[in-house]
């Protein structure tokens, strides 16, 4: 006799055995006609493998360590059908469902946990029989089972307490700076993670970086009537405005209410490309100078097509005083009936690099859209003399362009457009723009290494600042610790002239 449970809540459509299993999101007992799970072995607690070394002349051995071996889960099943051909059809479908490697494996009697495994054996139906009994073997190189949900913890009074009811597991941190900071430390009994620089403080005179343009400057600037300087034939006679979009998107202040975006509020008119634009001059630096030969820019885009007929373009131009284009970032979709879109990087009025992508969404296939979700859209571009660095899909690219070495940016143009009377992009927004002038000579205030509102994320042993991988921020000797079984207390600190950031932590509990 077998225990039975109703797992409709887990996606099933009938009453199934307690040990019925889901493989890669499919409940096999529901998917394969005539299939029935009989029993499962291999899920029990696994013994440790002790590594030791015998030494001649000494009793016993020397302890070297221990580990858990790989796990093999065996599912015994029965398969029956009214005819031999239907039995073979069911077996073929079973083989198809078990084809994916490293699949998530869930059992009905523990539906809130999963293993990661690869099915590699299931036998064959006996010739001439209308029913058969077989075994499916699932190899788990990782012997642990994991919680299907993450546990969230938040800091209080510069302390973060993590409660783990399973085995030691990894921790993902997110630190949000409420004030400027130059250093962040997360310390537990098992290690310490340090980012930034302990010695950074006020009072040193050397070249510094200063913010000379921000998103708010574009909200408040007057709308332009003229042209897109990258595309002189494109008409700019509409207007850009501010819109709140996204009820569950993270804001810079940590809240999840709607986020402010710069968007095309009025398309303007024209028979070709036309739309709205703004040209904003850089602020004077601390020495009173307006303009920057060397600068670093962080942006956050959302560029998303709801259907293949949407057409639109978003252009950011970095201009000299006489409106020559030094650098440009150009994102567009110009083909009706297709989701194919393009991002381009220009310098001195010449296209230098481009990538094609599918504008449907962030996770859509091998040509996925880096700017296809309101929760993803980080971008950057930096000019250091003739060297230009830009970022796309987690990778930095470098170009050397001698002709722009001494060109000085004094203003920035942002344009958003549509073509004629075509369907407009469902999302063509900019959420954040921050331009920092490099190498300003003066009294250095290095506190803005981590500005107020900046987010540092530590995931899988790697530090990210505002969504971009920043290995150079890691202090040599940092130890990425795990959440031990029971409570792990993490002490949080920042620069001695600032306050510690607010920190969240997530763990995915695991068990043997």
The CATH number given to whatever domain includes residue 486 is: 2.60.120.860
Q: Is the pLDDT of residue 206 over 80?
A: no
Does residue 238 sit in the same domain as residue 295?
yes
Does residue 239 sit in the same domain as residue 213?
yes
Final residue in a domain of this structure, among 444, 467, 496: 444
For residue 469 the two structure tokens come to: 């991988």
DSSP E strand stretches across 10-70 = 15-17, 21-23, 26-27, 35-41, 49-53, 62-67
Neighbours of 22 (CB within 10 A): 24
**268, 279 Cβ separation under 8 angstroms:** no
Q: Which helix (DSSP H) or strand (DSSP E) does residue 305 occupy?
A: none
Q: Which pLDDT value is given to residue 234?
A: 97
Q: Is the pLDDT of residue 363 over 70?
A: no
Does residue 393 sit in the same domain as residue 419?
yes
Residue 283's closest CA among 388, 354, 190, 213? 213
Final residue in a domain of this structure, among 101, 127, 145: 145
Does residue 262 sit in the same domain as residue 359?
yes
Rounded CA-CA distance 14/4 in Å is: 11
Does residue 162 sit in the same domain as residue 91?
no
**CA dist 390 to 299, 355, 396, Å?**
11, 13, 6
Rounded CA-CA distance 196/40 in Å is: 50
Mean pLDDT of 126-138: 85
Does residue 353 sit in the same domain as residue 492?
no
**437, 482 Cβ separation under 8 angstroms:** no
Q: Is the pLDDT of residue 445 over 60?
A: no
Give the least confident one: 221-225, 440-444, 474-478.
Answer: 440-444
**319, 421 Cβ separation under 8 angstroms:** no
Neighbouring-strand partners of residue 204: 444
Does residue 318 sit in the same domain as residue 437?
yes
Does residue 424 sit in the same domain as residue 282?
yes
pLDDT class for 204, splitting at 50, 70, 90? Answer: low
List the CATH number of the domain containing 251.
2.60.120.200
Does residue 194 sit in the same domain as residue 317?
no
What DSSP string describes 332-367? EE--TT--EEEEEEEETTEEEEEEEEETT-TTSSTT
pLDDT class for 7, splitting at 50, 70, 90? Answer: very low
Rounded CA-CA distance 414/399 in Å is: 23
pLDDT class for 176, splitting at 50, 70, 90? Answer: very high
Final residue in a domain of this structure, among 444, 462, 489: 444
Residue 34 DSSP SS3: coil
Neighbours of 213 (CB within 10 A): 22
Q: Is the pLDDT of residue 11 over 80?
A: no
Does residue 53 sit in the same domain as residue 71?
yes
Residue with tokens 């690219």: 397
Task: Output 276 or 12, whichever has higher pLDDT.
Answer: 276
Rounded CA-CA distance 413/228 in Å is: 8
What DSSP string describes 398-420? EEE-GGGTT--B-EEEEEEEEET
Does residue 157 sit in the same domain as residue 259?
no
Q: Are strands 21-23 and 103-107 parallel, antiparallel or unpaired?
A: antiparallel
Mean pLDDT of 31-56: 88
Q: Which pLDDT value is given to residue 211?
A: 94
Number of domains comprising the chain? 3
Q: Which pLDDT value is given to residue 8?
A: 41
What lies within 8 Å, CB to CB, of 127 at 6+ separation is none
Q: Which pLDDT value is given to residue 343?
A: 96
Q: Which pLDDT value is given to residue 362?
A: 62
Does residue 388 sit in the same domain as residue 466?
no
Domain range for 323 is 205-444
pTM of the predicted model as reported, rounded to 2 decimal places? 0.55
């Amino acid at each position: 006799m077998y225990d039975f449970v109703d797992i409709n809540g887990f996606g099933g459509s009938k009453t199934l055995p307690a040990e019925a299993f889901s493989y890669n999101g499919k409940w096999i007992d529901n998917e394969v006609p005539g299939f029935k799970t009989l029993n499962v072995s291999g899920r029990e607690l696994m013994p440790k493998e002790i590594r030791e070394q015998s030494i001649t002349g000494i009793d016993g051995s020397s302890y070297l360590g221990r580990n858990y071996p790989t796990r093999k889960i065996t599912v015994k099943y029965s398969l029956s059908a009214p005819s031999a051909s239907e039995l073979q059809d069911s077996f073929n479908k079973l083989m198809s469902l078990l084809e994916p490697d490293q699949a998530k494996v869930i059992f009905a009697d523990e539906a809130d946990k999963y293993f990661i495994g690869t099915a590699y054996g299931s036998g064959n139906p006996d010739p001439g029989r209308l029913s058969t009994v077989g075994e499916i073997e699932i190899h788990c190189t990782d012997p642990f089972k994991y919680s299907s949900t993450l546990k969230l913890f938040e800091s209080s009074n510069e302390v973060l307490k993590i409660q783990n009811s399973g085995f030691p597991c990894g921790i993902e941190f997110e630190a949000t700076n409420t004030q400027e900071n130059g250093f962040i430390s997360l310390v537990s009994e098992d290690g310490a993670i340090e980012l930034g620089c302990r010695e950074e403080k006020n009072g040193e005179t050397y070249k510094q970086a200063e913010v000379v343009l921000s998103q708010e400057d574009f909200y408040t600037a007057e709308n332009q009537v003229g042209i897109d300087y990258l595309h002189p034939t494109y008409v700019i006679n509409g207007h850009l405005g501010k819109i709140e979009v996204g009820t569950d998107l993270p804001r810079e202040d940590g809240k999840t209410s709607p986020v402010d975006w710069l968007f095309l509020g009025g398309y303007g008119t024209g028979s070709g490309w036309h739309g709205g634009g703004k040209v904003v001059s850089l602020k004077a630096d601390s020495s009173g100078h307006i303009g920057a030969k060397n600068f670093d820019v962080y942006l956050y885009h959302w560029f998303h097509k709801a259907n293949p007929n949407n057409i639109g373009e978003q252009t950011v131009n970095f201009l000299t005083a006489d409106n020559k284009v030094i650098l440009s970032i150009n994102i567009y979709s110009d083909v009706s009936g297709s989701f194919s879109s393009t991002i381009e990087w220009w310098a001195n009025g010449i296209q230098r690099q481009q990538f094609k992508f599918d504008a449907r969404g962030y996770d859509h296939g091998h040509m996925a859209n880096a700017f296809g979700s309101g929760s993803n859209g980080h971008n950057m571009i930096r000019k250091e003399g003739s060297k230009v660095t830009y970022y796309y899909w987690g990778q930095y690219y470098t170009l050397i362009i001698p002709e722009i070495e001494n060109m000085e940016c004094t203003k920035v143009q942002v344009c958003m457009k549509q073509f004629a009377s075509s369907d407009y992009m469902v999302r063509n927004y900019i959420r954040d723009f921050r331009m920092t002038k490099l190498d300003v000579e003066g009294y250095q205030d290095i506190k803005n290494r981590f500005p107020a509102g900046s987010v540092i994320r530590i995931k899988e042993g790697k530090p990210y600042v505002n969504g971009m991988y920043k290995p150079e921020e890691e202090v040599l000797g940092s130890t990425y610790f795990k959440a031990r079984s029971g409570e792990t207390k993490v002490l949080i600190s920042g620069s001695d002239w600032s306050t510690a950031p607010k920190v969240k932590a997530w763990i995915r509990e695991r068990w043997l």
